[in-house]
Amino acid sequence: YCEQVVPPGTLNSGSSVYCVQSILGQGAYGIVVKCVRIKDMTTVAVKMIKQRPCFLKLANIEVAALSRLKSLCVDKCNLVKWHRVFMDKGHVCLEFEHLDKSLYEFLKERDRCSLLLKEIRPIIQQLANALNHLKLAGIIHADLKLENVMLVSHEKEPYRVKVIDFGMACKDSEAKVGSYIQSRPYRAPEIILGLPFTVAIDMWSLGCLPADHLLSHGRKTSRFFQRDNNKVAQMSDALMFVDMLKEMLHLDATKRATPGQVLQHKYITMQHLISMIPHSNHVVSCFHIMDRFQDKKDARPSLQKNSPRSNIPVELTAMYRK
């Protein structure tokens, strides 16, 4: 299909014609291209699968998983929006919304520079939200990694992410012992040992993201702390972060944190930082970052831009008067 994907090649779904603009990525399975859907001039991403039985099987698995998720509000669930599947010149093509870049590409552009804890928090919160919805749908993603977490539009919406690539997904009820799933750096102990597994393997992969990839190796702890009055708040945040990782990376899958438990962990809710709001600019910035991702029904205190007493949450003002 090389001629089809070299700009300005075209793809045809029968109901729509797509003008290929660029190649977004490629691998053993096939290629992903950025296209403009001519009928409404919408920019989309099209994943073209190679004509090989093993890859066609993965395409069928992905379509089955995406079909089960079709009824969900993918924006609220932090899952990629899938539009349709079509055939073009014998190739299976999956049309998705166009997203910005993967976390892998993002870190590569930063020269693998680690993220700050306050930048990691919204990413973990959104991915736990995605896994929570997948768990409720009875779906194991089975391939969560940096390459499969996409920034939606980092310039417009910093750190807003979505999960992509359901080529290894399966129903929790149909999990088969001995399945060759998950990338090695993110592979859960039960998969390595050939034991029965559940959706808990996705939580292990999520724990590996910040533990082994978003935070760099060999950096001194002081790298993450400014030497000023914010140090106590940052140290408290770091301790809560480590506590959360321990729960996410429990060797016993039955004791491993669930997505719902991660969403309620103090590192995510920032309950441990509330009392420090009047004294730490770091804490204020943490709340401002998370406000972008707060659900309107969320009970977590929110910082208002014009709230009194140096940006203290309106809901907490009475507390400080005491």
Binding residues, by number, are 47
> Are residue 167 and residue 231 in the same domain, yes or no?
yes
SS3 26: strand
Distance CA 153, CA 101 (A): 8
Do residue 120 and residue 91 come from a single domain? no
Q: Which of 97, 131, 158 is the last residue of a domain?
A: 97
Nearest by Cα to 88 from 116, 26, 46, 127: 46
Known binding residues for ATP are 47
Residues 106 and 89 occupy one common structural domain: no
DSSP structure class, residue 72: S
Tens of pLDDT, residue by residue over 159-170, are 999 999 999 999
Is the per-residue pLDDT at 56 higher than 70? Answer: yes
Q: What is the pLDDT of residues 91-129, one digit of tens each?
A: 899 999 999 999 999 998 887 678 899 999 999 999 999
192 shares a domain with 119: yes
Which of 64, 97, 130 is the C-terminal boundary of a domain? Answer: 97
Residues 135 and 248 reside in one and the same domain? yes
**pTM given for the model:** 0.87
Please indicate, yes or no, whether residues 264 and 208 belong to a single structural domain of this protein. Answer: yes
Instruction: Looking at the structure, tell me whether residues 254 and 272 fall in a common domain.
Output: yes
Q: What is the pLDDT of residues 219-244, one digit of tens each?
A: 444 444 444 568 889 999 999 999 99
**Quick one: 154 and 199 in the same domain?**
yes
The count of domains in the chain is 2
Specify whether 155 is located in the same domain as 280. yes
Residues 243-302 have pLDDT tens digits of: 999 999 999 999 999 999 999 999 999 999 999 988 899 999 999 999 988 765 554 555
Please indicate, yes or no, whether residues 54 and 76 belong to a single structural domain of this protein.
yes
| Residue where one domain finishes, among candidates 74, 97, 120 | 97
Query: Could you report the per-residue pLDDT of 172-220, keeping only the tens digit for each?
Result: 999 999 999 999 999 999 999 999 999 999 999 999 998 876 665 444 4
Catalytic residues: 143
User: What secondary structure does DSSP assign to 93-140, as a single string?
Assistant: EEEEE---EEHHHHHHHTTTPPPPHHHHHHHHHHHHHHHHHHHHTTEE
Q: In this structure, what CATH number is given to the domain that contains residue 235?
A: 1.10.510.10
Same domain, 9 and 129: no
* Number of Cβ atoms within 10 Å of the Cβ of 180: 8
**CATH number assigned to the domain comprising residue 13:** 3.30.200.20
Q: Which domain holds residue 10?
A: 2-97
Q: Are residues 238 and 180 in the same domain?
A: yes
